[in-house]
Amino acid sequence: METESRIRSRISRPCLPRPGLLAWILSTAVRLAPTGWKFYNRSIMLRKTISDNVSVVVPDDFQYAWAGAKEIRFMDAHPEATSSTAYERRIQRGDSCLCLKKDGELVGYHWIAWRSGCLYCGFGAKQEIVFLPLRQNQAFTYDLYVYEAYRGRGLGTLFRKIMLEALRRKGIKEVFTLIDPENQVPLRLNLRFGYEPLCMVYSFRIRQWSTMLFGPRDDKRLKEWIEALEPSTQRQ
């Protein structure tokens, strides 16, 4: 059983901002919609400014490079792939994939969009939601993945450092990403890398119809929730 002090701590912990009236109405519509392709998704948009003095030391047995046709075929055919064609569709969309290799073997990847953000990118028109048009010096990152055989070695941290350096070399000054608030391990890691919470994002789809709603920027409740999760004294 929970002790009294733990119960009090849990009750007093800040909560995420509640969705506005329109978001609540749409989430109810998704829940009540007849069977078919539908979803409601809640995320936090994070933003980071990339400084010119970013640098990273890559261990000698690791290499990174932008994926070519060979790497995309390998990823699409891999047993851990969530789709057998999603990565190829992402390339056709104009996105790029940064690969991390160990002694020439692919151990993970991270996707970058240059034109706009995309939710469920590469999984077809019935799932994708395109948003956030990007300027020339901006990028949107998504789907950082390390293959199971290489997890537990701190490669997620190394890969984030490499990604920021690779974007800096391409002239990117500002990078955005979406994180599920329930997925707190990558959320904490991004905060430690200097990402700042921008706003809540609510995504909806009912069959062929979709939309996204954005919460207010500089939301006090969101900042309080982030501060309780990862105090600013622990961030870069």
Tokens of 33: 């919609």
Which amino acid is it at 45?
M
Per-residue model confidence as pLDDT tens digits over 58-114:
788 888 999 999 999 999 889 998 888 889 899 999 999 999 998 888 999 999 999
- Burial degree of 174 (CB within 10 A; 0-12, 13-18, 19+): middle
Region 32-234: CATH code: 3.40.630.30
- Beta carbons within 8 Å of 123's beta carbon, 6+ residues apart: 82, 83, 86, 89
Q: Residue 124: pLDDT band by 50, 70, 90 thresholds?
A: confident
Residue 208, token pair as written in the block: 């062929």
Which pLDDT tens digit goes with each residue over 23-57? 999 999 999 998 778 889 999 999 999 987 767 77
| Domains of the chain by residue range | 32-234
Confidence of residue 233 (pLDDT cuts 50, 70, 90): low
Q: What is the mean pLDDT of residues 145-173?
A: 90
